[in-house]
Structures are given as C-alpha cells and as structure tokens.
Amino acid sequence: MKIEIIDLVKDYGKFRALDGVSLTINRGMFGLLGPNGAGKTTLMRVITTLMPVTTGQVRVGGIDVMRDPGFVRKNLGYIPQDFGFYKSLNAYELLDYIGVMKGLTRIERQKQVKTLLEQVNLTKDAKRRVGGYSGGMKQRLGIAQALLGDPQLIIVDEPTAGLDPEERIRFRNLLTRLSGERTVLLSTHIVGDIEASCSAVAVLNRGQVIFSGAPETLMRHANGRIWQVEIEPREYEQIESTYRVTASRTASGRMLVRVLSLENPLGRGIPVEPELEEGYMAVITATEKEADHA
Ligand SMILES: Nc1ncnc2c1ncn2[C@@H]1O[C@H](COP(=O)(O)OP(=O)(O)OP(=O)(O)O)[C@@H](O)[C@H]1O
Ligand SMILES: [Mg+2]
C-alpha cells in the first residue's frame, strides 16, 4: 500500500513542524531519519490520521486520509514512540481488547492473538501482567497489537531505543519479514537499523525533507569528505573545534579519528570510504550551513 505525501504543512499554533513535505513511500521497508524535533513523529501522526493536516495532502492506497480516515485506520498498524499500556491486563487480555476495538470477531481474535503471541515470542508470558514486562517485551507486545487485523501498512516510531542489541536485532528481523508484502515506515535515530533493513530512506530536518533515496545514495553524500587522521590526544580539542568528528578511538596512546571535512584535516588525513551514518551527517551538516547563512 503506497503512501503519497504532497506538499504537507503541519502547524502547532504558530510553530511550523512540517514545512512542505513531499514523499512517496512504496511497499517494503522505508526508513525515516532526522535529529530530535525534526518532525518525524508529527509526520507519522498525520499519516495515521491522529492529527489533521494544516495544508497539503496525504494519500494512503490512493485515498485521502482527511477525507476517509476510516480507510487508513482499517489498514494501519501503528507502534507509537510512547506506548501506554493498560498495565493491569495480561498480554492475552490486552490483545483481545485491542482486537475488539479493531472490530475483529471473537473467532478472529482467538486465532490471531494466539498466532501473534507466538510470532513475537510472548506465549510463555501471555498470562503475566504487562506492567511487569521488560522494555523488549513491551516492544514486542506493541508489534503484536499493531499486527492485529493484518494491516497492509505498519508505522513504527523509534522502536529500538532502550532495547539491548539482541532484542533490537530480533525486532528488526521481524519488521523485515513483515515488510515483504506490506509497507513499513520506520523512524529511528539508529542509522545502523536503517542500513540493515531499509531499501529506501528519507532524512527530515527542521520539518523539511533534505534527502530521499536509497541508503547507498545517502552514503555517497559523504564521498571524498571522510578522512582518518592519527593524532596525539592533546590535539583532539583542536580537531573537534575545527572539524566534525564522526568517530574516534584510542590505541596505545595515539588517537584515530574520522572527520567529515571538505579539505584534508591538519594536512595529514587519509581519505577513507564513508559509512551510512557519515552520509547522514553530511546532508545534515549541509543544511545547517545553509541555515547559518540565511
Ligand atoms: N503538540 C505539540 N505542540 C506544539 N509543538 C509540538 C507538539 N508536538 C511536537 N511539537 C514540536 O514540533 C517539532 C517536531 O516534533 P516531533 O515530535 O515531530 O519531532 P521528532 O522528529 O519526532 O523528534 P524526536 O526524534 O525527538 O522524537 C518539535 O519542535 C516539537 O517541539
Ligand atoms: Mg519522535
């Protein structure tokens, strides 16, 4: 199910949170990156019909979300950034309850709840109060509730914050598996999550799309601008105040830093291949510079 976002503007009072966003999101897994406050959650909430647009249009499967919010809701599974659970229910009761809200029959609920609990590996804990669940278990329960009713569109807002690496990878693999026939829109700060799973990505900054395309294309934005320099620890401050450091490590009293820079740092950097995260930093830095000059 395709999402088409056309010239979308969203204001909170006088504050413009989304400023002319246009994006097409196709089947598969689509990653949404951007710094804190970029507008990712706002964009997702508008798509889910939880919030009205100010101007512009969002179409899901060709249907305008403002004109027919019911259509989107029927086809949507949403995992919000902050998931408020009914803490005193157990997983079984909670999913059954959400199934009722989604209009599933008793038989459909019985079947789906059982399958989903198995899929997210919570069968063993299904009779425990969800208030006592760990962060990872809550995330998995969040997925299960989103998948009730077999939605064609799944929107996941920053799911992996607070998960240990093993849970993160399990979560990511589950989403990848789901994205086969569906559209999965995933927002995250963890560039590695995008790299491992998304075929398309957009970067949002200050309410505007500053990049949209393949992850490899994003990475190429840092081509020729990533340098590795070996420095003395005492040189670090100078490096950091002059250049954007993307990584650093110490080995036997010397420091190896990677920096994003147009020119060779200290005249003794070695050009190296960029990582995806550095491509992301390159596009963010470019727009920050423009904003400074404005
Ligand atoms: N209900 C609201 N009222 C007023 N301003 C809001 C509201 N919700 C969000 N904002 C502002 O809109 C901007 C975008 O917020 P949003 O939550 O969409 O960003 P985000 O990209 O999801 O950030 P994060 O990475 O921290 O989750 C921020 O400047 C935020 O302060
Ligand atoms: Mg957010």
The verdict on 64 and 210 lying in the same domain is yes
Q: How far apart are the CA of 50 and the centre of ligand 1, in A?
A: 14
Residues with CB under 5 A from ligand 2 (ion): 40-41, 81
Question: For residue 135, what pLDDT band results from cuts at 50, 70 and 90?
Answer: confident
Last residue of a domain, one of 197, 214, 231: 214
User: Does the structure show a pLDDT above 90 at 177?
Assistant: no
In this structure, is residue 269 part of a structural domain? yes
Instruction: Tell whether ligand 1 has an atom less than 6 A from the beta carbon of residue 31.
Output: no
User: Does the structure show a pLDDT above 90 at 116?
Assistant: yes
Residue type, 65: V
Instruction: Tell whether ligand 1 has an atom less than 6 A from the beta carbon of residue 36.
Output: yes
Q: How far apart are the CA of 210 and the centre of ligand 1, in A?
A: 17
Mutate to test the pocket of ligand 1, among 10, 41, 45 (most ligand atoms within 8 A of CB): 41
Question: For residue 86, what pLDDT band results from cuts at 50, 70 and 90?
Answer: confident
Between CA 158 and CA 187 the distance in angstroms is 5
| Residue 19 neighbours by CB under 8 Å, 6+ apart | 9, 206, 207, 208
The verdict on 40 and 157 lying in the same domain is yes
Last residue of a domain, one of 189, 214, 239: 214
Mutate to test the pocket of ligand 1, among 10, 16, 21, 40 (most ligand atoms within 8 A of CB): 40
Last residue of a domain, one of 214, 234, 261: 214
The verdict on 32 and 140 lying in the same domain is no
Give the ligand at the shortest distance from the Cα of 45: 1
In this structure, is residue 256 part of a structural domain? yes
Predicted pLDDT at 129: 92
The verdict on 185 and 54 lying in the same domain is yes
Burial of 47 (0-12, 13-18, 19+ CB in 10 A): buried
Crossing angle of helices 106-119 and 135-147, rounded to 10°: 140
Cα-to-chain-centroid distance, residue 219: 17
Q: How far apart are the CA of 35 and the centre of ligand 2, in A?
A: 9
Domain hosting 272: range is 220-293
Residue type, 198: C
The verdict on 71 and 156 lying in the same domain is yes
φ/ψ of residue 212, rounded to 5:
-150, 125
The verdict on 140 and 195 lying in the same domain is no
With a threshold of 0.85, does the pTM exceed it?
Answer: yes
In this structure, is residue 93 part of a structural domain? yes
In this structure, is residue 53 part of a structural domain? yes
Give the position, in ligand 1's atom list, of the atom nearest the Cα of 39: 18
In this structure, is residue 80 part of a structural domain? no
Domain count, the chain: 3
Instruction: Tell whether ligand 1 has an atom less than 6 A from the beta carbon of residue 205.
Output: no
Question: For residue 17, what pLDDT band results from cuts at 50, 70 and 90?
Answer: very high
In this structure, is residue 59 part of a structural domain? yes
Question: For residue 151, what pLDDT band results from cuts at 50, 70 and 90?
Answer: very high
The verdict on 157 and 207 lying in the same domain is yes
Tens-place pLDDT, residues 257-289? 999 999 999 999 999 999 999 999 999 998 877
Tell me the CATH number at 32: 3.40.50.300
Per mean pLDDT, which of 22-31, 68-77, 194-203, 250-259 is the most reliable? Answer: 22-31
DSSP annotation of 68 reads -
The verdict on 6 and 135 lying in the same domain is no
The verdict on 245 and 102 lying in the same domain is no
